[in-house]
Chain A
Amino acid sequence: ILNVEQSPQSLHVQEGDSTNFTCSFPSSNFYALHWYRWETAKSPEALFVMTLNGDEKKKGRISATLNTKEGYSYLYIKGSQPEDSATYLCAFLGSSNTGKLIFGQGTTLQVKP
């Protein structure tokens, strides 16, 4: 059974703090790692699709790194803002490339003003 783990489960930070979370995934049969941001009452929004070991992607204050050999990805948020409050999901895509994603449970971030 393929397992995707995210930590921490939840996080409370003050506005302006920088933060990071972890996604662990199987290191074999890797095809891609997705990150999504899911705000309450909205649909999950794609942040990154990462495919190469050592890849680093950035979108505004949010960045992500990828280590496929050891099976982990980090998501960083620099200078958190209240609007960053959301659940951040990572999802593993195996090499079959059927598009079938295996999701972690998510990290719920709350940024206090």
Chain B
Amino acid sequence: GAVVSQHPSWVICKSGTSVKIECRSLDFQATTMFWYRQFPKQSLMLMATSNEGSKATYEQGVEKDKFLINHASLTLSTLTVTSAHPEDSSFYICSSWTGKSNQPQHFGDGTRLSIL
């Protein structure tokens, strides 16, 4: 089946650090990649939609200057949390989608980000 690689799995860093998370679609070309965030005991919340070669579309309330998304190729999207602070600590997970309406999204394993 489709495989999406996301890394790192865990990040612990100091406040003010910028953190980059990579999401790679290993065996298919993803028209679209999605970035989600999950707070404890809550559902996956979509942060942004990333299409190859174009600017990401951010959901309401998500700061685009805080969460920089780059989708340089059909197989790679990155999320950079800039100048991270403790309130950015969360679980971040990406998914890839072929763009076909009857196809599911394929998820990475997620990244646990802890800002001290």
Q: Which residues of B contact A32 (CB under 8 A)?
A: 101-102
* Cα–Cα, bound, A106→B36 (Å): 15
- How many chain B residues touch A (CB < 8 A): the figure is 26
Decide: A100 and B46 in contact? CB cutoff 8 A. yes
Decide: A36 and B104 in contact? CB cutoff 8 A. yes
**B105 to chain A: closest CB distance in Å?**
7
* B99 CB–A CB distance under 8 Å: yes
**A55 to chain B: closest CB distance in Å?**
11
- Which partner residue on chain B sits nearest A41 by CB separation? B109
Q: Which residues of A contact B42 (CB under 8 A)?
A: 105
Q: Which residues of A contact B104 (CB under 8 A)?
A: 34, 36, 46, 49
Interface string of B1-18 (1 = CB under 8 A from A): 000101000000000000
Q: Which residues of B contact A89 (CB under 8 A)?
A: 43-44
- Which partner residue on chain A sits nearest B32 by CB separation? A99
Q: Which residues of A contact B93 (CB under 8 A)?
A: 43-44
**Which of A4, A42, A46, A100 is B49 in contact with, Cβ under 8 Å?**
A100
- Which partner residue on chain B sits nearest A102 by CB separation? B46
Interface string of B74-114 (1 = CB under 8 A from A): 00000000000000000001010101011111111110000
**A79 to chain B: closest CB distance in Å?**
24
9 further interface pairs, Cβ-Cβ under 8 Å (given A31-B101, A98-B49, A105-B43) = A32-B102, A46-B104, A51-B102, A89-B44, A99-B97, A101-B105, A102-B46, A103-B44, A103-B45
Report which A residues bind B (CB closer than 8 A). 4, 31-32, 34, 36, 41-46, 49, 51, 89, 91, 97-106
Across chains A and B, which 3 residue pairs bring their CB atoms closest together, nearest first? Answer: A46-B104, A43-B107, A103-B43
